[in-house]
Amino acid sequence: MADRWALSSAEDGGVDVAPLGPEGLPAAPVRREAGPAEAVRSRPGVTRWVWRSTAEVYPRLLAAGVRVERCYDVEAAETLLLGHEGRYGQPRSAAAALARLRGGPVPPDPPQRPAEPGAQSSLFEPRGAHVPLTDLLAVYADQQRRIEATAHPDRMRLLVAAESAGMLVAAEMNRAGLPWRADVHRAVLHDLLGERYAGGGEPRRLAELADEVSAAFGRRVRPDLPADVVKAFAQAGIKVSSTRRWELESLDHPAVKPLIEYKKLYRIRVAHGWSWLQDWVRDGRFRPEFLAGGTVTGRWVTNGGGALQIPKVIRRAAVADPGWRLVVADAAQMEPRVLAAISRDPGLMEVAGRETDLYQSVSDRAFSGDRAQAKLAVLGAVYGQTSGDGLKNLAALRRRFPRAVAYVDEAARAGEEGRLVRTWLGRTCPPATRTTDDAVEEAGIPLTEEESDAARQWVPGYASTDARARGRFTRNFVVQGSAADWTLLLLAALRQAVRDMAAELVFFQHDEVIVHCPEEEAETVVTAIREAAELAGRLTFGPTPVRFPFTTAVVECYADAK
């Protein structure tokens, strides 16, 4: 049996399948099966399934208890290839790819479905049009040709495979859910916010803090309304331009302390309070919907439930099943290690070649012992900091690690000049949007700087992207995105390593992964994570001295991991 088969869904719920020949053509007649589960289950020797969309097919397979080893997600590949070809924004569906290939009218992509509690119900709705198997394979064959046409075909092939693996992991995580104790969550809310009064008013602690704020101002102030707060400070003779916490913290006024406390607790109530629990937790699991490759840098997003922003205090409610554990693994200083790997800066590679605290090592070399300064400077270089201590220390960083800083500087210059940048594996940033200056220039109207600023109010097509912001974006893109490349490979390797165990991947957040497993598997999982990280490093970046250590914690409760 060929190890690579294609599968496409038909309107009646059945599927067509065929083995792939060397040219991406069917190596045998197309066969009809009653459903994807039947088709896949009866072909255990298949090591990679080529299909239109993992999000369409795989949840149905998982619901039937069927997993696949690998897949090739045609629509994920199309998205990556369009980006690489500088055609960001063109419709990315298989149907659109086919139309481009055949020269027909290109259908727009279906609209994104908004977040919706209880996503289970929508798992089976088809997203996007069905494409007949032979057409799907025509698109697939064309994609293979386009991959070969890229600057680094081996990397692009790896990226497409990794993105496809990410789609599988995301679907499996969506099915598993994060173990969640609603009773513990309610206890935490009660501890923080106090009792709720009948009638739906604010919980006791919030009401008390609001009263304290009002008392401090000498009049009724709504602490949840920024405009009201700004006005109240103005009446007290204090000018504030916003009510952001860092700005309030510098003020000397009795309202500041209760106000900041109120904002913190208010945030928890609206974002992760009782109604969140009602909406997103069912049967002892928190079920957000993970979307692999949901951001331009390749980081994932979640749809609903604010899953990537769970406040630390609320993590108390993420508790393993009885007899099970959570293995919480966090990549240590991921971004500077990735910068070392992609820039090949000798000094930074040497530092990143050790598993010990990278910021401390950088500091020993460049800042005579101040770890905090070193961390600020490194992150400032990666983020494009424009002022403050990080900038001051950038000079020292540049002296010690010239190639690393030059790498992100070059990415920033590319952005400022309107060029595209790519991650290590070839994920490409979107093009710059039109700015005021572009629009004015195209219109041939000479304007002074003041007039140009004023024009922002009305010029059609204006987007708030100036060249400098663009530079900061591309500077960060190459590091954040290459880190995302690596984490995809990590997830793929870890998934393979635990496939015959009871362990399940239940959570992923940029540089942190949680595995839920029986207590007796925990140590094996810890080892698997370490090995997967090193394998991912070699696969992604090739031979490199850079190490990618994880800090792992085996805990019953997520909150105990730090």
Partner DNA sequence: TACCGGCGCGCC
Partner DNA sequence: AAAGGGCGCGCCGGTA
Residues engaged in binding DNA (CB under 7 A): 115, 224-227, 230, 242-246, 248-249, 263-264, 267, 270-271, 276, 288, 294-297, 299, 301-306, 308-312, 372, 376, 379-380, 383-390, 469, 472-473, 476-477, 480, 509-512
Q: 301 vs 501, which CB is nearer to DNA?
A: 301
Q: Which residues pair with 327 in a beta bridge?
A: 515, 554
Q: Tell me the residue length of the chain.
A: 562
Structure letter (DSSP) for residue 553: E
Q: Which residues pair with 72 in a beta bridge?
A: 50
Alpha-carbon distance 327 to 365, whole Å? Answer: 34
Q: 263 vs 325, which CB is nearer to DNA?
A: 263
Closest separation between CB of residue 435 and DNA, Å?
14
Question: CA neighbours within 13 Å on the CB side: how many for 35?
Answer: 13
Structure letter (DSSP) for residue 428: B
Largest CA distance in the chain: 82
What are the angstrom distances between the C-alpha of 269 and each of 191, 195, 258, 263? 12, 12, 16, 10
Closest separation between CB of residue 240 and DNA, Å?
8
Closest separation between CB of residue 519 and DNA, Å?
24
Q: 58 vs 507, which CB is nearer to DNA?
A: 507
Alpha-carbon distance 197 to 204, whole Å? Answer: 7
Query: Is the separation of the CB atoms in 454 and 321 below 8 Å?
Result: no
Alpha-carbon distance 125 to 109, whole Å? Answer: 16
Closest separation between CB of residue 287 and DNA, Å?
12
Q: 303 vs 524, which CB is nearer to DNA?
A: 303
Q: 385 vs 423, which CB is nearer to DNA?
A: 385
Closest separation between CB of residue 228 and DNA, Å?
7
Helix (H) or strand (E) holding 383: helix 371-383
Closest separation between CB of residue 279 and DNA, Å?
7
Structure letter (DSSP) for residue 184: H
Q: 14 vs 304, which CB is nearer to DNA?
A: 304
Convert 103-135 to b/e letters by CB count within 10 Å (16 or more is b).
eeeeeeeeeeeeeebebeeebeeebbebbebeb
Q: 295 vs 527, which CB is nearer to DNA?
A: 295
Q: 88 vs 346, which CB is nearer to DNA?
A: 88
Alpha-carbon distance 473 to 453, whole Å? Answer: 22
Closest separation between CB of residue 109 and DNA, Å?
16
For strand 48-51 and strand 71-73, is the pairing parallel, antiparallel, or unpaired? parallel
Closest separation between CB of residue 199 and DNA, Å?
16
Identify the sign of the CA torsion 66, 67, 70, 75. Answer: positive
